[in-house]
Structure 1
Amino acid sequence: MKTIMIIDDEPLIRRGLESMIHWEDMDCRLIGQAASGEEGLLKIREWKPDIVFTDIKMPKMDGIAMMKAVANEADPPVFVVLSGYNDFELVRAAMRLGAVDYLMKLNLEEEELIRVVKEASERVADKRKEPVSVPPSYDFKEHFLKELLRMRQDKEFYRKMEPQSFNLKSGASYRLLVIKLTELPDEQWNQSKLSQNFLINICKEQISEDVEVYEYHLEADTFVLYIESGGVLSKSVLISQCEAMELAIKKYLNQEIRIGISTPHHNAMHLPEAFEEALQSIAFHIGGVNTRIHFYMDLLNTHYLEKQVDHIKSETDLFDAIENFLLQLQKFITQRATREEAVHICYLLITQIYELDSNSKPFFIRWFGKEYTSVRDFSSEVDLAMVSTWVLRLEQGLNSFSQEYMGEIYRYKVKKAKQFILENVYQKVSLNQVAAELEITPGYLSRIFKKVTQQSFSDYIAEIKIEEAKKLLLQDNNRVYEVSSKLGYEDPYYFSKVFKRVTQMTPSEYIARN
């Protein structure tokens, strides 16, 4: 049986690791904990654990210094490091010192912990068989992918990157897939890492075995798949695999997804560009088009745009639908359209707007000085640049109209949503539940909430609940798990993560300071 020790200055992390899995089932036994590097070093020397889970950043002596201190001692333990989102360089240093793997503290998951324990146990078994230690090898690609996507807006980070570290094979290409649940899951899903992992694993299982696949969890309802192959994966193969994902997720989770797919790329430094392509493929999707699989290159296709125009009228939020379409149209004009193609699509859009609202002619007269009753009315737009300017003006006009006539409606619905959340602060509250109360779709509520408040729906719920939690934590000696339960959080660990995200401190730290 392998002996385990946990070293972290956060009690919540230590308790979380301790209780997340059944250690005995994995032939492991917890023999102790430490709250600092100094204490950890003393206990490692005293207890001689086989495996040590240690935080990287701790007061006085950090995890790196502690690992260095025992590196040359007889039979040092196998280390697994616990890191935060900004600990990239420290993780690399720990790997050089022989750490077998790392765990992200804010994304601590049962399945991932089990995997790492197995890996560490195998390393212990190897050490027992072979007296000569073998330097561990470690593939940084998954960590690099997560850092590249997380830091995609940080140009300084990119200047410091070592492209060769990503190890993209010669002649290989990759695509990014952004996979999004069409209806935002409820709070129970958000708290269940197992459900989210199950969804990711279902998707990965549908991908061919001869390609590399890594995932990056973006939000509760959205994640990214990185798919790398020796050549260029064909569109037909990707469609087949994505359709298999759709069917499996519908069968096992009763959820539906949309998938945005980037163009093929051959350079690791193009990851942010590939990510934006995949995101845009989903963002520009307009409901009603039969497929839920959207390739970035399709956004630049005339026939595809014609279908998008035809389905605008099926959208709940017409202004959002038209705004998304205009973004596609601008890209189409600037990258590959002829003047005739651009004019054709513009006129189809005008016709659709007229069909949606027979009183829209004054709008065009106000913004363009004419009604546009035929394609000939575009004769003054003599080149693509002028057509592009026309599209921008249409977008400005629609934005003005939306703010003038729809703003009050949006604000009223958001006000009702906030009221419902406040009245049910001690219950589980989900986007689907509030949308049903307001008799609108979850997607529509999510968009108008962000538009009116400049804040996501889930962030607002978190803020309201945590404000209430702050009051409860200082009343009647309430314990953290009691407050968590009162506010509808089944998992105290998840509640503590939300609390720290909102307040920048743990519940225990908040109590101590107040």
Structure 2
Amino acid sequence: METLITILIVDDEQTIRDGLKHLIPWEKEGFRIIGEAANGKQALELIRVKKPEIIITDLIMPEMDGLEFSQVIHQQYPDSQFLILSSYDDFNYVSQSFKNGAVDYLLKPTLNPQNLLHAIKKISLKLTKKHEGDSKQQMTSQSLNRILSGYMDDFELKKIAEYLDFTTFQLVYTNAHWYQDALHVQHFLEKNDLLDTQLCRWLPFYSTNGDLGLLLATKNPPLSKKQLKTTMITLQATNPEGFFVIGDPFTEITEVSQQLRNLAQKSLGQRFYFKNIFLIDEAESFLLNHEALFNTKRFIRDILNNDFSLGIQRIEDFFNQLILSFVEPVYLKKQASSFFYTLLSTLESSYPKSTTFRQLKLSFFNELTRTDYLEDFSKVILATILKIRNELQEQKVNNLSTDELINDITFYIKKNFQKELSLSQLADAFHFSYSYLSTFFSKHFDCSFSEYVNAVRLQEAKRYLLESPLNLSEISEACGYSDLSYFSKQFKKEFGISPSRYRREKHS
């Protein structure tokens, strides 16, 4: 018994749908209407369940018009063919519908049983040829998969070469392990009409270890990255995290297995460094390093001596170096796991009352595992370091009384007032953040940091003026002022009298 070709009708007018159903004796002609829908959204659900081979659709519809609908069909259900109907003889609509994969186009005012049946039979003929081509492609792809799995057979290699016809070969490579839905990528490569058969023939492949892609055969010159990117744009739209590497051309089909092994090896770790890049040439891949020097002994010594700030700085400097060195991602993650486990475990033991370090240890390894790209890895490292520093700062504040901290800051400034001093230097010296120390200073000293340092220097200047034989220029420098006129101005502003007059009056 002959299998009937299935048809779905999509039009927002009930009268049109009814008319189409009765316009032709469908089953007598080898077809069967399996459903109808009033718009593209309704039709998509029917297509998902019933998978019609031919779709007759209107162009102008509510919810989802025919152009948008045809684009979705072309991307998600490439096996379905569709015929466009419209009341409008609009060239732009016609042109776009054919870009979206429409096989034919009929105007409703001219629609009759003869031209509709002619258009449908033309589509069914294409379907038959496509099924025959798909069958031959599937058989040849199976031969290619066997070859790539290590089964070398001259007869199968000859079949592959005959099917591909052209003699300049290229591999387009990706890996199933990079995708949550690798079957979608495989289906796209197997079913979509990717390339112009006048310029190129191709075979999809899928090896047992997850290597996935296309074997291309072209006339000289081989396809460029730009040409391939244009043909694969629909896959990029539905799977934006896709990543493909185009191999160098080769001319002997017997080299295909070795070419794949080489390309797969070169592609290891590359995706990590190419976020938002869909397609690269083999020549663009990075030569990845597999190790980097890190002074582990110093790091461990810092941690055991509770000098956590220095240990954290060593980690930060090390990963900044690794990130710029294009290190193999597995090694990068392994190093991060090792160092942060040691650091966070020691912090957890040193601060048993804090739950933050324990929580950070759990969240860090979960986040690290999910990083697929260098950009995301860097964000996890930097965010974790920031959280550790903030928690250490919080613990230090909790363990140090306000009076102790004020005394320590006061002593530090009096000891170093003759040098250049800044709040950033003070924050580094006490291992606090700039913003925290600025707020603390304003709150507990009733003035800004610079005002306080200036007051200390001027008090010391008074002592020098009374007790030392130094001249004004020497006193200015000894008190941290590089400019004598500025020193004199600040002194007079603070005490209402110039430094020289102050010395004369006190000594008279």
> If you compute each CA radius of gyration, which structure gives the higher value, 1 or 2?
2
Structure number with higher relative contact order (C-alpha < 8 Å, ≥ 6 residues apart): 1
Q: What is the TM-score of this pair, normalised by structure 2?
A: 0.28
Q: What is the TM-score of this pair, normalised by structure 1?
A: 0.28
